[in-house]
Amino acid sequence: MVSATVGTGTALGAVLVSLLAAPAQAAAPTPTGGATAGRAVASDASPAPDDAGLRKVLRTAISQGAPGAMARIDDNGTVHRIAEGIANRTTGRAISTNDRFRVGSVTKTFSAVVLLQLVDEGKLKLDKSVNTYLPGLLPDDRITVRHVLSHRSGLYDYTNDMFARTVPGFEAVRNKVFGYRDLVKLSLQKPRTNAPGAAYAYSNTNFVVAGMLIEKLTGHAVGTEYQKRIFAPLDLTDTLYVHPGTTIPGSHAHGYLTPDEAGAALVDSTDQTASWAQSAGAIISTTHDLDTFLSALLRGKLMSSGSLTQMRKWTQVNSTTAYGLGLRRRDLSCGVSVYGHTGTVQGYYTYAFTSKDGKRSVSALANTSNNSAVLNTMAGTLESAFCGKPAARTTLRRAAPVERHEDIAPAVTRD
- Which residues are the active-site residues? 105
Q: At what angle do helices 107-120 and 204-218 cross, to 10 degrees?
A: 40
Residue 61: which of 411, 414, 407, 403 has the closest Cα? 403
What DSSP designation does 213 have?
Answer: H
Give the C-alpha separation, 242 to 306, whole Å.
Answer: 32
Amino acid identity at 47: P
The letter for the amino acid at 17 is V
Q: 25, 119 in Cβ contact below 8 A?
A: yes
| Residue 91 burial (10 A CB sphere; 0-12, 13-18, 19+) | exposed
105 secondary structure, DSSP code: G
Answer whether 371's CB lies under 8 Å from 260's CB.
no
